[in-house]
Amino acid sequence: MSGDTFKVALGDATNAQLRYYAEGVLNIDGIKPVGQSNAFLISKIKGVLGEEVEQIELPSTMKLLGATSAPALDVAPAGEGGLPAGPESRHFRYDPKVEIEIQNSNDKTRSRDCYINCNGDVLQVQRGKRVKIPYRHYLVLVDAVEKVARDTDEINPITHMPVKEWVEQPSYPFSVFSLPSEEEIAAWHKRMDNVELRAGPEPARAAA
Protein backbone atom coordinates (compact mmCIF):
# COMPACT_ATOMS: atom_id res chain seq x y z
CA MET A 1 0.00 0.00 0.00
CA SER A 2 1.58 3.26 -1.13
CA GLY A 3 1.09 6.87 -0.08
CA ASP A 4 0.34 8.14 3.42
CA THR A 5 -0.50 5.14 5.57
CA PHE A 6 -0.47 4.03 9.18
CA LYS A 7 -0.37 0.65 10.88
CA VAL A 8 -2.77 -0.46 13.58
CA ALA A 9 -2.80 -3.63 15.65
CA LEU A 10 -5.70 -5.95 14.85
CA GLY A 11 -6.81 -5.77 18.47
CA ASP A 12 -6.86 -1.96 18.42
CA ALA A 13 -8.55 -1.50 15.03
CA THR A 14 -12.16 -0.34 14.92
CA ASN A 15 -14.87 -2.49 13.40
CA ALA A 16 -15.09 -0.13 10.41
CA GLN A 17 -11.33 -0.30 9.82
CA LEU A 18 -11.34 -4.10 9.95
CA ARG A 19 -14.35 -4.22 7.63
CA TYR A 20 -12.71 -1.87 5.15
CA TYR A 21 -9.47 -3.86 5.14
CA ALA A 22 -11.22 -7.23 4.75
CA GLU A 23 -13.50 -6.10 1.94
CA GLY A 24 -11.66 -3.21 0.28
CA VAL A 25 -8.06 -4.46 0.49
CA LEU A 26 -8.29 -8.26 0.67
CA ASN A 27 -11.53 -8.56 -1.36
CA ILE A 28 -12.97 -11.11 1.07
CA ASP A 29 -16.50 -12.21 0.18
CA GLY A 30 -19.33 -12.18 2.71
CA ILE A 31 -18.38 -8.96 4.52
CA LYS A 32 -21.51 -7.07 5.57
CA PRO A 33 -21.93 -3.33 6.29
CA VAL A 34 -23.06 -4.05 9.86
CA GLY A 35 -23.52 -6.91 12.29
CA GLN A 36 -20.14 -8.68 12.14
CA SER A 37 -17.91 -8.66 15.21
CA ASN A 38 -14.27 -7.66 15.36
CA ALA A 39 -13.34 -11.25 16.20
CA PHE A 40 -15.12 -12.50 13.08
CA LEU A 41 -13.41 -9.92 10.84
CA ILE A 42 -9.99 -10.62 12.38
CA SER A 43 -10.45 -14.34 11.74
CA LYS A 44 -11.27 -13.60 8.10
CA ILE A 45 -8.18 -11.41 7.73
CA LYS A 46 -5.94 -14.00 9.36
CA GLY A 47 -7.47 -16.64 7.14
CA VAL A 48 -5.97 -14.83 4.17
CA LEU A 49 -2.76 -13.38 5.62
CA GLY A 50 -1.95 -16.08 8.18
CA GLU A 51 -2.36 -16.50 11.92
CA GLU A 52 0.91 -14.67 12.62
CA VAL A 53 -0.44 -11.35 11.33
CA GLU A 54 -0.82 -8.81 14.14
CA GLN A 55 -1.14 -5.50 12.22
CA ILE A 56 -2.85 -4.08 9.17
CA GLU A 57 -1.85 -1.04 7.12
CA LEU A 58 -4.48 1.53 6.21
CA PRO A 59 -4.62 4.93 4.46
CA SER A 60 -3.88 7.74 6.91
CA THR A 61 -7.30 9.25 6.13
CA MET A 62 -8.88 6.31 7.95
CA LYS A 63 -7.44 6.96 11.40
CA LEU A 64 -10.85 8.20 12.58
CA LEU A 65 -12.86 5.58 10.70
CA GLY A 66 -15.35 4.18 13.20
CA ALA A 67 -13.88 6.14 16.11
CA THR A 68 -16.23 7.45 18.78
CA SER A 69 -14.96 11.02 18.43
CA ALA A 70 -16.50 13.14 15.68
CA PRO A 71 -14.26 14.08 12.76
CA ALA A 72 -13.04 17.60 12.27
CA LEU A 73 -15.08 20.08 10.27
CA ASP A 74 -12.75 19.69 7.28
CA VAL A 75 -12.53 15.93 6.92
CA ALA A 76 -9.64 16.14 4.45
CA PRO A 77 -7.54 19.23 5.26
CA ALA A 78 -4.81 20.10 2.77
CA GLY A 79 -1.23 20.60 3.83
CA GLU A 80 0.21 24.06 4.27
CA GLY A 81 2.05 25.81 1.47
CA GLY A 82 -0.56 25.70 -1.27
CA LEU A 83 -0.85 23.32 -4.19
CA PRO A 84 2.25 21.12 -4.57
CA ALA A 85 3.90 20.45 -7.91
CA GLY A 86 3.72 17.12 -9.71
CA PRO A 87 1.38 14.14 -9.21
CA GLU A 88 0.85 14.95 -5.53
CA SER A 89 -1.36 17.85 -6.61
CA ARG A 90 -3.94 15.27 -7.72
CA HIS A 91 -4.37 13.99 -4.16
CA PHE A 92 -7.90 14.48 -2.83
CA ARG A 93 -6.59 16.71 0.00
CA TYR A 94 -6.03 19.41 -2.61
CA ASP A 95 -9.51 19.21 -4.14
CA PRO A 96 -11.75 22.25 -3.83
CA LYS A 97 -14.12 21.71 -0.91
CA VAL A 98 -17.89 21.38 -0.77
CA GLU A 99 -19.72 22.09 2.50
CA ILE A 100 -22.50 19.57 3.02
CA GLU A 101 -24.64 17.93 5.66
CA ILE A 102 -25.86 14.35 5.28
CA GLN A 103 -29.35 14.11 6.72
CA ASN A 104 -30.13 11.99 9.76
CA SER A 105 -32.07 8.81 9.15
CA ASN A 106 -34.84 7.15 11.18
CA ASP A 107 -33.90 3.83 9.58
CA LYS A 108 -32.26 1.80 12.34
CA THR A 109 -30.39 -0.28 9.77
CA ARG A 110 -28.48 2.81 8.69
CA SER A 111 -25.27 3.62 10.52
CA ARG A 112 -24.80 6.98 12.22
CA ASP A 113 -21.72 7.65 10.12
CA CYS A 114 -21.44 7.43 6.36
CA TYR A 115 -18.35 6.22 4.55
CA ILE A 116 -17.74 7.84 1.19
CA ASN A 117 -15.41 5.76 -0.94
CA CYS A 118 -13.75 7.28 -4.00
CA ASN A 119 -11.28 4.89 -5.63
CA GLY A 120 -10.23 3.50 -2.28
CA ASP A 121 -9.99 6.86 -0.50
CA VAL A 122 -12.60 6.62 2.26
CA LEU A 123 -13.95 9.55 4.28
CA GLN A 124 -16.02 9.20 7.43
CA VAL A 125 -18.86 11.71 7.61
CA GLN A 126 -21.21 11.99 10.57
CA ARG A 127 -24.88 12.44 9.77
CA GLY A 128 -26.44 15.73 10.85
CA LYS A 129 -23.15 17.62 10.95
CA ARG A 130 -21.83 20.20 8.51
CA VAL A 131 -18.52 19.11 7.00
CA LYS A 132 -16.28 20.12 4.14
CA ILE A 133 -15.45 17.27 1.81
CA PRO A 134 -13.25 17.05 -1.32
CA TYR A 135 -15.00 17.74 -4.59
CA ARG A 136 -14.47 14.19 -5.87
CA HIS A 137 -16.22 12.72 -2.82
CA TYR A 138 -19.07 15.17 -3.37
CA LEU A 139 -19.47 13.78 -6.91
CA VAL A 140 -19.67 10.28 -5.43
CA LEU A 141 -22.49 11.44 -3.12
CA VAL A 142 -24.37 12.98 -6.04
CA ASP A 143 -24.17 9.71 -8.00
CA ALA A 144 -25.04 7.46 -5.02
CA VAL A 145 -28.57 6.22 -5.66
CA GLU A 146 -30.48 3.09 -4.70
CA LYS A 147 -33.74 1.50 -5.77
CA VAL A 148 -36.57 1.01 -3.28
CA ALA A 149 -40.03 -0.51 -3.67
CA ARG A 150 -43.01 1.75 -3.01
CA ASP A 151 -46.74 1.06 -2.97
CA THR A 152 -48.83 2.39 -5.85
CA ASP A 153 -52.57 3.07 -5.97
CA GLU A 154 -53.03 -0.02 -8.14
CA ILE A 155 -54.24 -3.19 -6.36
CA ASN A 156 -53.09 -6.63 -7.42
CA PRO A 157 -56.32 -8.58 -8.23
CA ILE A 158 -54.82 -11.85 -6.96
CA THR A 159 -53.09 -10.79 -3.75
CA HIS A 160 -55.32 -7.74 -3.14
CA MET A 161 -52.15 -5.92 -2.11
CA PRO A 162 -50.83 -2.67 -3.58
CA VAL A 163 -48.68 -3.14 -6.64
CA LYS A 164 -45.08 -2.17 -6.00
CA GLU A 165 -43.00 0.10 -8.20
CA TRP A 166 -39.25 0.47 -8.04
CA VAL A 167 -37.98 4.03 -7.81
CA GLU A 168 -34.56 5.55 -7.41
CA GLN A 169 -33.70 7.67 -4.40
CA PRO A 170 -30.46 9.14 -3.05
CA SER A 171 -28.52 6.67 -0.91
CA TYR A 172 -27.43 9.54 1.34
CA PRO A 173 -29.81 12.52 1.17
CA PHE A 174 -27.78 15.65 1.87
CA SER A 175 -27.87 19.43 1.78
CA VAL A 176 -25.25 21.64 0.15
CA PHE A 177 -24.24 24.89 1.85
CA SER A 178 -21.36 25.98 -0.38
CA LEU A 179 -19.79 24.89 -3.65
CA PRO A 180 -16.41 25.77 -5.19
CA SER A 181 -16.38 28.50 -7.80
CA GLU A 182 -16.58 27.58 -11.49
CA GLU A 183 -12.92 28.57 -11.81
CA GLU A 184 -11.89 26.20 -8.99
CA ILE A 185 -13.86 23.33 -10.51
CA ALA A 186 -12.41 23.97 -13.97
CA ALA A 187 -8.88 24.04 -12.53
CA TRP A 188 -9.56 20.77 -10.71
CA HIS A 189 -10.77 19.05 -13.88
CA LYS A 190 -7.74 20.34 -15.77
CA ARG A 191 -5.42 19.00 -13.08
CA MET A 192 -7.14 15.61 -12.93
CA ASP A 193 -7.12 15.27 -16.73
CA ASN A 194 -3.43 16.15 -17.03
CA VAL A 195 -1.77 13.06 -18.53
CA GLU A 196 1.68 14.09 -17.32
CA LEU A 197 0.48 14.37 -13.72
CA ARG A 198 -1.24 11.00 -13.94
CA ALA A 199 1.91 9.36 -15.24
CA GLY A 200 4.21 11.03 -12.73
CA PRO A 201 7.80 12.10 -13.34
CA GLU A 202 9.92 10.12 -15.79
CA PRO A 203 12.53 7.87 -14.18
CA ALA A 204 16.06 9.17 -14.21
CA ARG A 205 18.19 7.71 -16.99
CA ALA A 206 21.60 6.25 -16.30
CA ALA A 207 24.50 8.32 -17.55
CA ALA A 208 26.12 7.02 -20.72
pLDDT at 184 over 60: yes
pLDDT at 187 over 70: yes
Res 109: pLDDT: 72
pLDDT at 125 over 60: yes
pLDDT at 8 over 80: yes
- Residue pLDDT, tens place only, 90-121: 888 899 999 988 888 777 777 778 889 888 88
Cα–Cα distance, 109 to 126 (Å, whole number)? 15
Residue ranges of domains in the chain: 1-68, 70-197
Res 66: pLDDT: 57
- Residue pLDDT, tens place only, 23-79: 888 988 888 766 678 888 899 999 999 999 999 998 877 776 655 444 445 767 776
pLDDT-based confidence at residue 189 (cuts at 50, 70, 90): very high
Percent of the chain with pLDDT over 90: 20
Res 95: pLDDT: 92
Residue 162 in contact with residue 151, Cβ under 8 Å?
Answer: yes
Residue 44 in contact with residue 28, Cβ under 8 Å?
Answer: yes
Cα–Cα distance, 132 to 99 (Å, whole number)? 4
Output the CA angle 130-20-100, nearest 5 degrees. 15
pLDDT at 88 over 50: yes
- Residue pLDDT, tens place only, 132-177: 999 999 999 999 888 877 888 888 888 888 888 888 888 888 888 8
Residue 107 in contact with residue 30, Cβ under 8 Å?
Answer: no
Using alpha carbons only, how large is the chain's radius of gyration in Å? 21
The one-letter amino acid at 39:
A
